[in-house]
Chain A
Amino acid sequence: MLLQSKYKSALLCPVLLASTAPSLAADIHWSGFASIRGGLMTDDLVRPAFHNLYQDKEFTLKKESLFALQATTDLGEGLTTALQLVARGHEDFDVEARWAYIGYQINENTQVIAGRFAIPIFKFSDTVDIGFARNRGRLPTSVYVPFDFSVIEGLRLDYSNYINESWNYQVIATYGSWDGIIPSTALTPFSAEASNITHLSVELSNEWLTLFAGGMTTNFVSEEFDHVLVDGTLEQLGLKDELDAIDYDYSQMYISEGRESEYLMAGYYIDYNGYINQFEWTRYGTHKSVDQFNDGWQFTIGKRFDKLTVLLTQEQNKQNNSSTNFHDVEDKSLAARLKVVDDLFSLGNEYESLSLNFHYNFHEQANLTMTIADLEFVNKEYNKDENGDYANETKIISLGIDIVF
């Protein structure tokens, strides 16, 4: 591993102070971005709804606000370095090194970077923190699940070129590894490691149309998922003894044991004379595991009126619960109870939303955003409110300002 996954601020201070000292060679170029975004939910839920962070009626600025500072140096002859530090409100503004790499421009079309960096496992995964760089306040969470493993340690190759005067294409290939926490809506977040992360994405664009597709494969290892969450759930439901009695192959439910995880995405983006239309589809999960495949999609239409952009987005995330044949047990009663385990692991991920987004560029380096989102859940039990009543629908209202400097 090239770098620890997180640097605490105490460790970073000497780095920042050193960077202000007289430099031996290249100048350090400082830049950054920040978002102050606050919001609330119109109901009080016991847990945040599908990675949306907000969970009650109390207005808070902590959930989505962040500050980032980037130091880059150009050492000449194509060699660059960069360090990007990000402090997030929902992590008590602890400073994290999200990007830390050495880059080398091989030729006009090809660049390689080594170190710690984000990969676009979804179209905008590598710019997900930069509020100013997008035309909405919040990205649709059905597609943009905040997976930590979109930031990895490894090597990335970028290649871009023109097909003709109109069409440009870009290929990004990545190889690396990761360790950290995987968020879960149905379970508590769990620690995991991913090795052999192999990612490839392709983008083809002209003046007004962008087509994109990509995929990533990896092998996760998580003692916590396999032996605490899965085994613990089987134990709690009284299934462990029965499964032991038939010498059940538990590896069929684990995400470790050499199972391959896949992340696929495809879509298009149109911005034609200020009319905007976007569609993104993703599929991700682990083969032959209780962590079955999720399908997420978002469809957006909108219009840019000079400095104001209005977008309407429909989105959905659904967990495919069709591969129950891996249970491989003859006893129908036991098979039915294993199906309950499937449901427990999957239904928290059934989610859809319709949102209206306003984005106003009031300054060359700043914009204001507002999002009103209507959320619907399939699993009402999971979204029980504080009074014990089921909430299958709620709203999120968020306001924010994004700047870049």
Chain B
Amino acid sequence: MKTLICALMLLLSFELFAKTAIIVHPNNDSNFNKIEVSRIFIGKAKFFSNGQKAVPLYLTDKPVKDKFNGQFLGRSTIQIKTYWSKLLFTGRGVPPNEVTNEEMLEKVASSEEFIGYIDASLVNDQVKVIYTF
């Protein structure tokens, strides 16, 4: 029974303290601040500070996506979906592609134009972490 309780507490602590990392290509030498990065993820900024085109990626992993939208963008996932549907159907923007954890790491490692987010425990040395929360 003690083992079970410990295991449950350990799981709970992982859940509570699991961090999310915002990642870019290791060669991306832009200056990053939270406001600029937020604007890229909602389509209001289309370039990094170094002049390189910025392409944001969203995650299909719902818990991480909900945490990112809520804590980093300050909106619920449904509000973000509503926001993008307004832009999409009025010619003002196309929502970012949604990818799996594996695809996120693969894409961000493949090109300097991508920026994404992922559970911090999954980060590898092929990507650069610019922000954690």
Which chain A residues have a beta carbon within 8 Å of chain B's beta carbons? 29, 31, 33, 68, 70, 72, 74, 80, 82, 84, 99, 101, 103, 105, 108, 111, 113, 117-118, 126-127, 129-130, 132-133, 158, 160, 162, 165, 168, 207, 307, 361, 364-365, 404
Docked Cα-Cα span, A252 to B46, in Å, equals: 52
* Contact residues in B for A160 (Cβ distance below 8 Å): 44
* Stretch from B18-26, B73-81, B110-118, B121-129 forming part of the interface with A: B73-81
Give A70's nearest chain B residue, CB to CB: B89
Docked Cα-Cα span, A136 to B101, in Å, equals: 35
Of B78, B82, B91, which is within 8 A of A307 by CB? Answer: B78
The smallest C-beta distance from A209 to any residue of chain B, in angstroms, reads 14
Docked Cα-Cα span, A342 to B62, in Å, equals: 59
Given contacts A130-B85, A307-B78, A364-B77, whether A165 and B35 have CB atoms under 8 Å apart is yes
Of A103, A133, A158, A165, which is within 8 A of B86 by CB? Answer: A133
Given contacts A82-B91, A103-B91, whether A33 and B35 have CB atoms under 8 Å apart is no
Of B45, B74, B92, which is within 8 A of A158 by CB? Answer: B92
Of B39, B81, B90, which is within 8 A of A364 by CB? Answer: B81
**Structural contact, B89 and A361, CB atoms closer than 8 A:** no
* Contact residues in A for B86 (Cβ distance below 8 Å): 127, 130, 133
**Structural contact, B89 and A130, CB atoms closer than 8 A:** yes
Of A108, A165, A361, A365, which is within 8 A of B45 by CB? Answer: A108
* Residue of B35, B85, B86 contacting most chain A CB atoms (<10 Å): B85
Residue total for B at the interface (Cβ-Cβ under 8 A):
19
Of B35, B39, B47, B88, which is within 8 A of A31 by CB? Answer: B88
Given contacts A133-B85, A364-B81, A404-B81, whether A108 and B91 have CB atoms under 8 Å apart is no
Asked if B94 is at the interface of the complex by the 8 Å CB criterion, the answer is yes
Given contacts A80-B91, A133-B86, 14 further A-B contacts (CB under 8 A): A31-B88, A33-B85, A72-B94, A117-B91, A118-B90, A127-B89, A130-B85, A132-B82, A133-B82, A133-B89, A158-B92, A307-B78, A361-B78, A364-B78
Docked Cα-Cα span, A363 to B92, in Å, equals: 24
Docked Cα-Cα span, A127 to B85, in Å, equals: 9
**Structural contact, B94 and A126, CB atoms closer than 8 A:** no
Can you give 8 contacting A-B residue pairs, CB < 8 Å?
A: A31-B88, A68-B89, A101-B91, A118-B90, A129-B89, A162-B44, A168-B44, A365-B81
Render B21-52 as a binary contact track against A, CB cut-off 8 A, 1 for contact. Answer: 00000000000000100010000111100000
Which chain B residues have a beta carbon within 8 Å of chain A's beta carbons? 35, 39, 44-47, 74, 77-78, 81-82, 85-86, 88-92, 94
Docked Cα-Cα span, A29 to B77, in Å, equals: 22
Docked Cα-Cα span, A113 to B91, in Å, equals: 8
Docked Cα-Cα span, A105 to B43, in Å, equals: 13
The smallest C-beta distance from B14 to any residue of chain A, in angstroms, reads 25
The smallest C-beta distance from A162 to any residue of chain B, in angstroms, reads 8
* Contact residues in A for B35 (Cβ distance below 8 Å): 165
Of A108, A132, A158, which is within 8 A of B85 by CB? Answer: A132
**Structural contact, A111 and B92, CB atoms closer than 8 A:** yes
Given contacts A82-B91, A99-B91, whether A108 and B46 have CB atoms under 8 Å apart is yes
**Structural contact, A108 and B47, CB atoms closer than 8 A:** yes
**Structural contact, A126 and B85, CB atoms closer than 8 A:** no
